Amino acid sequence: MPRITPRTLKGFRDYLPQAMLPREALIATARDVYRSYGFSPIDTPALEYLEILSGNGSDETDKQLYHFTDNGGREVGMRFDLTVPLARFAAQHAQELGLPFKRYHIATVWRGENTQRGRYREFMQCDFDTIGTESAASDIETALVIHDLLQKIGFERFTIRVNHRGVLNGLLENLGLADQALPLLRALDKLAKIGPEKVAAEMERTAGATSQQTAQVLELAALTGSRDEVLAALRPMVAGSETGEAGAERLSEVLGGIRAAGVPEERVELDVSIARGLDYYTGMIYETFLGDLPGIGSVASGGRYDNLTEAFTSQRLPGIGASLGLDRLLAAMEELEMLPNARTPAEVFVPLFNKEMLGPLLKITTDLRAAGLRVELYGDAKKLGKQLQYANRRGHRIAMIVGPDELAADDCQLKNLADGSSKKVALADAAREITLLLEGGDD
RNA sequence: GUGGCUGUAGCUCAGUUGGUUAGAGCGCCGGAUUGUGAUUCCGGAGGUCGGGGGUUCGAGACCCCUCAGCCACCCCA
């Protein structure tokens, strides 16, 4: 019989249990943090009318869009982010939602772009957004959510870099370069990566800026120091520009709020060079870098946009939001050895001695589950050594050994698979004892 | 989409200027007196050399195409 080669498409992946367990854990953390701020879950279809998706983005996103004609002759596209669907969703349901509206959306998106490490054609986004308000509070909250998220995931050393588009635009305005903002900011965003000389060269080449102008832009971007120092230094540079002054003012407010919330000073940095490639950000911008792995890039980023829904409705809906870089974070955690090596969600393993033990063990494991534990009962009465070997490889943490002897004595042996230690406890106390063991050796 | 590099057992790789039966470590499976794993000892299975075509007496090695991965550009998560 001719066989079909099992394979996956370029840029698409299978997830084995070992990869899926931390993935789900991360998603659960994100969901919990979002909910703790009152963001509500929504979902939208994977497929949209092509015009919904392609009208919005740039030529670039159009090229990356997966699209086809469906069996009813409709032109259809697969969503390439969660922001455009949010815009459509908000425009369509504005009346029922009420404003401001805070939602989170964790879902798969597709982009037909070239693959690279950490870049796939199918990947998951974990977005949260607040729409219908321009308040500084929502700007501040966005940073707080990112901060909480990273902390809950288990990172100690990370920096949220913030900036305001108005500051950059204000400076460009003052330099008479406002109409070339896009190519200039795109070049500026590469500062950390390629250095000031190359950025200047690119600015002169793509935006027609003079070397004097680029020097001034780079001077702003080169500002370093504490937030207050940077803020004080940039104010005169944007003076006279309405957007620039407003941007600096908002920046100051947001940084003050973040400080008031108790976020450690070193976790948030004012970095005037970040621009974020997207052309729709109009206000605050956020990027997040890991102290132990800065090279992996931003693991959570976002910003404020003025008019999310303008393609769909005349109603003005400003918004702010950010997105967690799930794949990058997982890659980072793997590299930093923050991921457990388990291939099973069940912490407790119960070997089967012989067929006669099956009935009693089914009862015992059912009781353990009722007590909130995750328990796997082995199905074949193989040699005990084999069963323990299996348990060890799978990553179960505790083996609960109940053989005929234990059953007769109404007790059991709890074996810690990490260190080999074991103790005898009464069956009636097993659930409690296991819980204690799990809390104790938590690594 | 453009350019560069790579592709040999489940994994990490070795394989001399193209020459006969393609190797190692780890992993996997089995065993070391029948109720205790991850350490030790013994044994074993497993590879159409990513796929297709070509050059050659002969190709894992050379050429072309294709698929996939990595890197850069682009863009971004």
Q: What is the mean pLDDT of residues A227-242?
A: 90
Question: CA A55 → C1' B23, Å?
Answer: 58
List the A384 CA – B40 C1' distance (angstroms): 19
Chain B, protein-covered positions (CB within 7 A): 1-3, 28-31, 34-38, 48, 67-77
* Average pLDDT of span A187-200: 80
The domain spans of chain A are: 17-335, 348-440
Q: What is the pLDDT of residues A7-42, one digit of tens each?
A: 788 888 888 888 888 999 999 999 999 999 999 999
Sorting pLDDT into bands at 50, 70 and 90, what band is A43? very high
Report CA(A211)–C1'(B19) in Å, whole number: 64
Residue A159: pLDDT band (50, 70, 90) is very high
Q: How far apart are the C-alpha atoms of A141 and A138, rounded to whole Å?
A: 5
Question: A423 burial class (0-12, 13-18, 19+ CB within 10 angstroms)?
Answer: exposed
| In A181-280, beta strands by DSSP E | 268-270
Q: Between A211-221 and A181-188, two packed helices, what is the crossing angle to 10 degrees?
A: 50
Measuring from the CA of residue A415 to each C1', which nucleotide is nearest?
A: B36
Which pLDDT tens digit goes with each residue over A126-157?
A: 999 999 999 999 999 999 999 999 999 999 99
Q: Give the closest nucleotide to A406 (alpha carbon vs C1').
A: B35
ipTM of the modeled complex: 0.84
- Å from the A228 CA to the B5 C1': 47
Q: Any idea which nucleotide's C1' is nearest the CA of A118?
A: B77
Q: Tell me if A10 sits within 8 A of A121, measured CB to CB.
A: yes
The gap between A88 CA and B77 C1' (Å) is: 21
C-alpha pair distances (Å), A71 with each of A47, A68, A75, A174? 13, 10, 10, 54
pLDDT greater than 70 at residue A242: yes
CATH topology of domain A348-440: Rossmann fold (3.40.50)
Q: How far is the CA of A227 from the C1' of B56 (A)?
A: 71
Q: Six-digit token pair at A12? A: 């698409």
Neighbours of A207 (CB within 10 A): 21
User: What backbone torsions phi and psi does residue A85 show, to the nearest 5 degrees?
Assistant: -60, -35
Q: Are A49 and A75 in contact (CB under 8 A)?
A: yes
**Amino acid letter, residue A276:** R
pLDDT at residue A182 in the model: 78
> Cβ distance A130 to A86 under 8 Å?
no
CATH class, range A17-335: alpha beta
| Assigned token pair, A361 | 């063990």
pLDDT top residue among A278 and A293? A293
- Is the pLDDT at A60 greater than 80? The verdict is no
Residue with minimal CA–C1' distance to B38 is: A392
